[in-house]
A = this chain, B = another copy of it.
């Protein structure tokens, strides 16, 4: 459902207005402010407000009177040190607020991140839009054979066509019956005067899990990066990963030093168990170690070879 003229005008008004502030500002993020990044077929994410920048991390770590920053290279070095040694509290000193539109089944995964503030559009109070997520054909994956919670190859031909048709038809039917049960016209008056209309808090139960909802979501940088480390991961479901990927790009514009440290020490890093570490030491000493005789299980061996790019 495209934005109404009023919504478009509201957003333009916000983008046009500028006021002077003494707070830290990040021009690259100011540019993105209020602009919706489209995701999936009807979703989006947009930054609504933010607090702090790379300097605020340094400032808090030093409990300093001014910005606490010195040379850019020194600040980046401190941020790298904090990230490497998991000193998480200075990263909590930056805060960001998003407006997100997302399918309900994605919202149900997202909300499991508890250290955040949320205001969701209330379907007890208002009527939801007639919008539902239908996967692009390339996303129509079969169940994985090797991973009980993953995707395998992409469905083709008749099966793919049937799945898309079913998803579309069921979501549409359920929504239309939802609207029928509500019995409201555009002004909220009875569409059919002969019927009372079902309470909104009840009618919503007829919607499918791919219906779109939206919320304001606010969290600090530490928890945001934790969200990204779990949801921008290849094991995350594609439909939430696109949001995490978009957030990572926003983080790059907002706090470039923290972003770089995060890529190096979290997203691109690898953890070796005590068992793996001992195998690693033997390998580096020149020994030819095989799984059999490694002291670690087949599954861990295979994970370790993956980490070392040997698969």
Contact = CB atoms under 8 A, between A and B. Distances in A.
Given A65-B10, A151-B201, A205-B167, A271 B274 contact: no
B22 A199 contact: no
A71 interface: no
Top 6 A-B pairs ranked by shortest CB distance? A10-B66, A268-B274, A92-B117, A142-B196, A205-B210, A7-B65
Nearest to A132: B205
Nearest to A123: B105
Given A150-B199, A174-B174, A284 B281 contact: no
Interface residues of A, number: 134
Contact of A205 (B65, B89, B133, B182): B133
A152 interface: yes
Contact of A15 (B22, B269, B284): B22
11 contacts: A13-B67, A19-B20, A20-B21, A50-B51, A63-B119, A89-B112, A103-B205, A104-B209, A114-B115, A142-B198, A264-B275
A252 interface: no
Interface string A293-310: 000000010010001110
Given A20-B20, A93-B216, A117-B220, 18 more contacts: A18-B21, A21-B21, A51-B51, A59-B216, A63-B121, A63-B122, A63-B214, A114-B114, A143-B196, A150-B201, A155-B196, A166-B177, A170-B177, A205-B209, A268-B273, A271-B271, A284-B284, A284-B308
A119 B66 CA distance: 15
A96 B61 CA distance: 17
A92 B117 CA distance: 6
A206 B210 contact: yes
Secondary structure of the A contact surface, majority rule: mixed
A157 to B, nearest CB: 10
A166 B111 contact: no
A242 interface: no
A182 B278 CA distance: 41
A244 to B, nearest CB: 15
Interface string A176-198: 01001110000000000001111
